[in-house]
Amino acid sequence: MPKTIFHYEGRDAYGNSVIGDIEANNAEEIVSNLKQQNIIPINIEAIKQKNFQTSSSFFSQHKIFNKVEPYHLMNFFSQLAVLHDAGLSVIKAISKLSESASSRPLGIILSQVAKDIASGFTLADSLKKYPHVFTPIMINVIDIGENTGHLSETLKHLGTYLEKSIANRRRLLSSIRYPIFVMVTIVAAVLVLNYMVIPKFSAMFARTGLELPFATRLIMSSSNFMVNNVKTLLAAVIIFFFGINRLLKIPTIRYVWDKYKLHLPVFGSLQKRIITSQFTWTFSLILRAGVPIIKGMTLASTTTENTYFSSRLLKMSTAIEHGENLSRAVIASKLFTPITIQMIEVGEESERIDEALAEVAKYYDAEIDFDLKRLGELIEPFLLMLIGGIVAILAVGIYFPLWDLIKVANV
């Protein structure tokens, strides 16, 4: 009897996503094989038809289909929920949305999805063809919504979930935009000084023959070095950033960095709150859709984009699988604050964990908004000190000798 080809998605010990195809007699054989490789399976499915596989690979391998923004997906799920509530069939609703989609790649995908549904596939199975657009969480939630007859409700939840995800990402970007802008400006100013301003002062001081102070000689030497080694320095910068990028792709190093950056001054606590907010919103959505808690924890861990946080969540999932309740697993993870643990305990006792998690997410969202408002106040002193240091170096190294030169000229 020929073996079946299965497509699997999972997470390794560091929380990194792992996908692939494997031949086996059944799904249990694949689970056993993956666990031997320290991979926790998230989703396993048989490749049903040759046409299905070909279509999937065609659309998923083209870059145009990897560029559907979350904002467009949010609109799609929300609009599909409204149309489905209005009485339209899923096929007609998706066909209409494919024609009016503001994202051309999403419109093309939806057109194909409508054809697949008409051919007998479920909505979840049709969306599985595009793993770079629709995440395993979306697929699982929609699958459960279809099987339980609550598709409209789950689609609304997905729209809200994506809205919160977009808001969290914007929060993170806004938290680093101001300091990055200031740092880029400072670097640009230093480059202009070293390549355009200081060389002119160096030529002027050289003609006078004055004995220059150590600070001035040091500044001029560094400027001369930068002017005379432009290509070397440019190559060093490129190699440095390329090397950092390559290093962060090594699981162990990425894990250490993701853990360390959660303890950075100012930004560490903010990042942790944003990640926790994202996780609790996601986990709440998954549980509300009816996904079992162990599988839900595993799925939610894939959305954090922090390998350290993901690995701790996977350990929580393993602990629950071995008999621990959620609140004890949360305490052992050391990822959450006491108030979060208390709210989860209350939710567990009242059997409303999804509602408790949603309240936790709202609490973190309020804290994030407050922290972002204070971020400028916290960073501003450091940036002022940095700018002041540059001005002081220029004053001591350039302007003081210049004043001495003016005095000599007046004499």
Q: Is 101 helix (H, G, I), strand (E, B) or coil?
A: coil
- The reported pLDDT for the residue numbered 368 is 82
Q: Band of the pLDDT at 239, cuts 50, 70, 90?
A: very high
Amino acid 238: pLDDT: 92
Quick one: average pLDDT of 181-203?
Answer: 83
Query: Encoding tokens for residue 4?
Result: 């079946």
97-136 per-position pLDDT tens digit? 888 887 888 888 888 888 888 888 889 888 888 888 888 8
Q: What Rg value do the Cα atoms of the chain yield, rounded?
A: 28
Is the pLDDT at 53 greater than 50? The verdict is no
Cα-Cα-Cα-Cα dihedral of 316, 317, 323, 325, to 10°?
A: 60
pLDDT band, very low/low/confident/very high, at 49 (cuts 50, 70, 90)? very low
Query: pLDDT confidence of 235, banded at 50, 70, 90?
Result: very high
CA 119 remoteness from chain centre = 36
Q: In sequence order, what are the residues at sequence separation of 6 or more whose Cβ sits closer than 8 angstroms to the Cβ of residue 156?
A: 77, 78, 81
* Residue 5 or residue 96, greater confidence: 96
Whether 44 shows a pLDDT value over 70: the answer reads yes
Comparing C-alpha atoms, which of 196, 236, 237, 199 is closest to residue 221?
A: 199
Residue 380 or 363, more confident: 363
Domains and CATH numbers, the chain: 1-47 (3.10.20), 52-134 (no CATH), 150-411 (1.20.81.30)
CA geometry: angle at 237 spanning 234 and 240, to 5°? Answer: 150
Cα 195 to its chain centre, rounded Å, is 37
What's the pLDDT band for 236 if we cut at 50, 70, 90?
A: very high
The percent of residues above 90 in pLDDT, for the chain, comes to 2
Please determine, for residue 408, whether its predicted confidence score (pLDDT) is greater than 80: no
Measured CA to CA, the distance from residue 158 to residue 406 in angstroms comes to 71
Quote the tokens at residue 228: 């005379």
Looking at every residue in the chain, the average pLDDT score rounds to 80
- Across the range 320-334, mean pLDDT stands at 86
Residue 3 has pLDDT above 50, yes or no: yes
pLDDT higher at 94 or 179: 94
pTM over 0.85: no
Tell me: the pLDDT tens digits for 60-70? Answer: 444 444 578 88
End-to-end, the C-alpha distance of the chain in Å comes to: 104
**pLDDT above 60 for 52:** no
Summarised one tens digit per residue, pLDDT across range 265-315 is: 777 888 888 888 888 888 888 888 788 888 888 888 877 778 898 888 888
Say how far residue 261 (Cα) sits from the centre of its chain: 14
Q: Which residue has the higher pLDDT, 227 or 43?
A: 227
What's the one-letter identity of residue 288? R
